[in-house]
Amino acid sequence: MAKKTKIHEIVKYPDPVLAKRGEPITEFDDDLKTLVEEMFESMYAAHGIGLAAPQIGVSKRLTVIDVNFKKDPADKLVLINPEIVERQGQQYEEEGCLSLPDIRDKVKRAAKVKVRAQNADGEWFEIEGEELLSRAFQHEIDHLDGVLFIDRLSRLKKDLTVRKIKKLIKNGEW
């Protein structure tokens, strides 16, 4: 009988774990592989296309991405200790975040990026992404650095967003 995968609750802004830089991962063991599976299941349960470990309260440099949302298992990406090694062009598109439910805004990002990361076995690899995948890479790696997409908005837009969230929290709606 298959073990039931744990679905983690998504941590919401302003939880301090979201503002912390994640710790590098050095142990590539079964616990890590279990965490990766739990992250995919938690991301799918929340209807996301990317999830960083800090978003489930784990301050580690790990993110999972599936921009095609379950259409093809080959599209499931695991990035451990990722870093962007190359950026090209520019895109300005709307983003959302599982840690900021119902908040969306346009963010400026590189149009194409190359990422260097490790897989769940600790092997290094490089991968390139354009458009949505590029945005997902940058958004999720930002999470690992303690940066949320609202931190990339103008000061005015960020202040308005934070004020809106504080009101939702006060009214018990967040």
| CB-based contact 44:79 (threshold 8 Å) | no
Alpha carbons 40 and 120: distance in angstroms, whole number: 13
* C-alpha span between 111 and 59 (Å, rounded): 28
Q: Is 139 annotated as a binding residue?
A: yes
143 in a labelled binding site: yes
Which H or E run includes 113? strand 112-118
Tokens of 79: 């990035």
Q: Please name the amino acid found at residue 147.
A: V
Q: Which of 9, 41, 93, 140 is catalytic?
A: 140
| DSSP state letter for 81 | E
| 123 labelled catalytic | no
Element (H, E) at 40: helix 30-45
DSSP three-state, residue 169: helix
Annotation: binding site for Fe cation? 97, 139, 143
Active-site amino acid positions: 140
